[in-house]
């Protein structure tokens, strides 16, 4: 299987997802959907969020080396982890391992 991001909140300037994964899953790239805002920005153009945070819900004590990573660009959020024992679940889609939050407050400069 793969890491799965399930949308929880999908607003113009704030979005969040719950993350499920198996022990052996190692990466996921998914679109965040943030766009530039009018009047100065083009609403069809993607833009990176100002804040992007991963909150791990899997205890480091339970995983040999989860080694989580979370990066953002103008179109996607990329999550990575090692495929170590205890870093996910045994049944696809059932073990909640993290939450991702992304925020892009309105910019006066646009």
Domain ranges of the chain: 4-103
Indicate if the alpha-carbon torsion angle 59, 4, 102, 74 is positive or negative: positive
Look over the chain and give the mean of its residue pLDDT values, rounded to a whole number. Answer: 83
User: In the prediction, which pLDDT does 64 show?
Assistant: 58
* pLDDT < 70 stretches in the chain: 1, 58-66, 106-110
* Closest residue by Cα to residue 70 from 36, 25, 22, 30: 30
User: In the prediction, which pLDDT does 17 show?
Assistant: 96
Beta bridge partners of 55: 99
107 neighbors 28 (Cβ within 8 angstroms): no
Contacts of 11 (CB under 8 A, 6+ apart): none
Q: Locate 15 and state its tokens.
A: 């979005």
């Amino acid at each position: 299987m793969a890491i799965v991001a399930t949308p929880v909140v999908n607003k113009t300037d704030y979005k969040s997802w719950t993350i499920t994964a198996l022990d052996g899953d190692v990466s996921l790239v998914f679109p965040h959907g943030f766009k530039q805002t009018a009047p100065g920005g083009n609403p069809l153009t993607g833009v990176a969020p100002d804040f992007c945070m991963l909150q791990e819900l899997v205890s480091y004590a339970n995983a040999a080396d989860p080694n989580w990573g979370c990066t953002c660009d103008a179109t996607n959020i990329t999550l990575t982890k090692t495929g170590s024992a205890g870093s996910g679940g045994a049944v696809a889609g059932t073990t909640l391992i993290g939450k991702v939050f992304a925020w892009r407050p309105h910019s006066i400069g646009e």
